[in-house]
Amino acid sequence: MTRVAFIGAGSVVFTRQLLADLLGFEDLPQLDLRLHDVDERRLAVAEGTAHQVSERLGRPLQVTATTDRRRALADVDFVVNMVQIGGVDATRLDLEIPARHGLQQTIGDTTGVGGVFRALRTFPFLTGLLEDMRAVAPGAVLLNYTNPMAMNVWWANVVAPDITTMGLCHSVYWTANDLAELVGLHVDDTRFRAAGVNHQAWLLDWTHDGQDLYPRLRERIRQDPELERRVRVEVFRRIGFYPTETSEHSSEYLPWFLRSAEQIERFRLQPLEYVGISEENLAEFAAAERALANGEPLELEQGAAEYAPQVIHSLVTGTEREIHANVVNDGLIDNLPAGCVVEVPTSVGAGGVVPQPMGSLPTAAAALNRSYVSVNELTIRAARDGDPLAVRQAVLVDPNASSTLTPAQIWDLCNELVAAHGDLLPEPLRVQLDPAAI
């Protein structure tokens, strides 16, 4: 029996999708599924979802739903983390407070000011989770979906280097899928490999029958002027390689797009977009709760290409796969700092988890990645050392923030966010800093 714990299982749509993909592997042994959430209402919906998916797919499933984290983790083989510390309310603060200061974000969960404060809320949770894993499931593999991906995996390696942690994100796959469709191909007929940092990796190898597909993409862009109004197309034009995250996300990792109303209009961006997405997620939860209460079938989609089910299947059965994973840079990308977290092709199967060295990135691509990595590094330092100055410095070196706000304005913004998030932050980081102090 394969034992899997879903932590933050109240993310019911995600729980439903991951479970459907897991149960789709007919050669995977029966699952002992542990569902954990601190919200009992959400946990009940997750449990009902698990039973319905099991029944509809005709696959027996042992389910335990509990608010006791150690009980959920006891002797498991895999831990899938998908928590959102502070929930929608904290996310709204991460977006709306900076906007009042004149700093625009679209999603605000990966880097920049939103990513920094989401990381600082999440690190204490991760420390506790890893301590519990070490106590009751020391051999388990942690599969992290929670953003900010790179910072969370980096923090896990700081506090628990003895536990195998992989960060999983679907951005590389869906980029390859969408681009293949754009040039008239199916993704399964293409080869793609990317490397960089999460949400800002670069499609370095993209071919069909051994032929480079970038010339076909350039021709397709020339045929449709509207494509030139996408952030990723602009980045591709300037850097020469396509970035692996949506234009909405990509816009907030760089200083070029959200700094003015003209750029926002030109590239068809929607500041604070994630506030609306969060509200939609709440509506999806309510719909799932109603459907279960009424005995109605939930919407079910299999084969969504999520990586966690593939990793679990490969490590249990020995089936060899290559995915893209977020792991510590231990000789994987030569021109990014050692010890940071990078996204690279990774083999999983009988040999375990084996990230693939990718050499050096194109110089301009690595230069953009280093700004992102610097935000991560300062955030890690702030949490590790309890240093409130490093929090401000992390936001100060963020390209989007520094393109819009002065240093003093960044200090004022961070002071307001610190006060707003309160005890969700580690206590040493809750202090206010005078923007004029020396």
Of all residues in the chain, the percent with pLDDT exceeding 90 is: 97
Torsion over CA: 177, 178, 184, 190 (sign): negative
Pairing mode, strands 141-144 and 211-212 = unpaired
117, pLDDT greater than 90: yes
Average pLDDT, integer, range 13-39:
94
* Cα separation values, 337 from 83, 196, 203, 273, Å: 28, 11, 20, 32
- CB-side neighbour CA atoms (13 Å) of 168: 25
For 290-314, the pLDDT digits (tens) are 999 999 999 887 666 789 999 999 9
Distance (Å, whole) CA 155 – CA 162:
13
Reduced to 3 states (helix: H, G, I; strand: E, B; else coil), residue 335 is: coil
Assigned architecture for domain 2-167: 3-Layer(aba) Sandwich (3.40)
d(CA 7, CA 143): 10
Mind listing the pLDDT tens digit for each residue in 351-380?
Answer: 999 999 999 999 999 999 999 999 999 999
- Rounded Cα distance between 416 and 217, Å, is 44
Q: pLDDT digit string (tens) for 42-81?
A: 999 999 999 999 999 999 999 999 999 999 999 999 999 9
Helix (H, G, I), strand (E, B) or coil at 80: strand
DSSP helix/strand/coil, 180: helix
What is the pTM (predicted TM-score) of this model? 0.97
List 170, 186, 249, 324, catalytic entry = 170
The pLDDT, as a whole number, for residue 303 is 64
- Give the start-end residues of each E strand in 304-359: 321-328, 341-349, 352-355
Catalytic residue status for 170:
yes
Task: Give me the pLDDT at residue 302, please.
Answer: 67
Task: Answer whether the bond into residue 148 is a cis peptide, omega within 30°.
Answer: yes
Say if residues 6 and 80 touch (Cβ distance below 8 Å): yes
- Longest Cα pair distance anywhere in the chain, in angstroms? 66
Residue 378's DSSP bridge partners are none
Report the sign of the C-alpha dihedral through residues 340, 344, 347, 348, in that order: positive
Give the ranges where 212-306 is alpha helix by DSSP (H). 214-223, 231-239, 247-250, 261-266, 273-293
Q: How many DSSP H helices and E strands does the chain contain?
A: 17, 13
Mean pLDDT in the chain? 96
Please report the sign of the dihedral spanned by the C-alpha atoms of residue 249, residue 253, residue 258, residue 262. Answer: negative
Give pLDDT, residue 301.
Answer: 76
